[in-house]
A and B are shown apart, each in its own frame.
Chain A
Amino acid sequence: MNEHWPTTDLDPVRRLHVLAAGIRGAHVTEAHVDAPFERVWSLLGDLEGGFGQVVTDMERLRVVRRQGERVEALARSRYGMRARLRGVQRPGWCWLQSRFLLIGVAAAPEGPGTRVAFTGGVRLPSRAALVPLGVRREGGRSVRNLTALL
């Protein structure tokens, strides 16, 4: 009778908060944008296009492999560092990490608009932690970039 019991599924924004809570130094920037989810994700889900215009600490992101939800991409940060990002991408969710970088983006419908959330930064080796510098600034910038593009 298990199938009759109530259940709930965490939306991507809630999931982003959960993972960020487990990463020391991570900060989640969350905002509501006045655009439907499909329009928002058409931008954020386009890793080689709109994604780079929103998450601007990454330049020239190029997808080199994709298998189902799993994705691998090469990128160069605006500070010149090259990165091989690996992760998962699906509607409303993008979680990518390289050896030194972490990028997390989530979106979920909220009324006629969309709730979006960003996290990420420079990873510390051997532990779930980020260098706590600029993590808030980058998130705020991503929200402003997204809003300007919509």
Chain B
Amino acid sequence: MPDDRTDDRTAVLVRAAQRGDTLAMAELLDVLAPYVGRVCSAVALDQGADAAQEALVAVFKSLRTLKNPAALHGWVRAIAVREALRTAHRAGRTVPADLSALPARGDPQLSTDIRDVLDRLSPEHRAVLMLRDVEGLDERTAAALLGVRTGTVKSRLHRARDTFRKAWTS
């Protein structure tokens, strides 16, 4: 996602896109696509491209409703997580919801491949892990974004991060 230095440019693009400038829309898509691709792939895995496309369609369909361009990043993030979870559930992949089913530390199955670890988490766990460890969100914000209680996020986060770290450092 763009840093502060590019925020001004992004705000200009949002305003121009809202006025119907399709070149600004195309440039805004170039800015948003890598970020949405990361969010959606972390949660929806193999369906990441489908989820990212759905999320960006939702973003551009409702861009005119975004009143404050400074809120773009959080707004896009919420849409991306929502679409990624929806896509992952629609794909119907079965994964163990109970993280205790994961291989123990040192298990040769657990390589340093993050993808291998993510494959063993539910979409919700992946979302929690990504929001906290990649996006740097606190529990309250993550809970609001996922539509669950803060306590639920804390417990999910504790288990997901613990397992993730063990796998990552094993």
Contact = CB atoms under 8 A, between A and B. Distances in A.
Nearest to A70: B23
A106 to B, nearest CB: 11
A88 interface: yes
Contacts of B168: 1
Interface string A77-92: 0000000001110000
Range class of the B interface residue count: 35 or more
B116 to A, nearest CB: 11
B29 A19 contact: yes
Interface of A: 1-2, 4-11, 14-15, 17-19, 21-23, 86-88, 95, 97, 102, 123-129
Interface of B: 17, 19-23, 25-27, 29, 33-34, 37-38, 40-42, 45, 48-49, 52-53, 56-57, 59-61, 63-64, 114-115, 118, 130, 133-134, 168
16 contacts: A5-B42, A5-B114, A7-B48, A8-B52, A10-B49, A10-B56, A19-B26, A19-B29, A21-B60, A22-B59, A22-B60, A86-B23, A87-B23, A95-B23, A123-B20, A126-B20
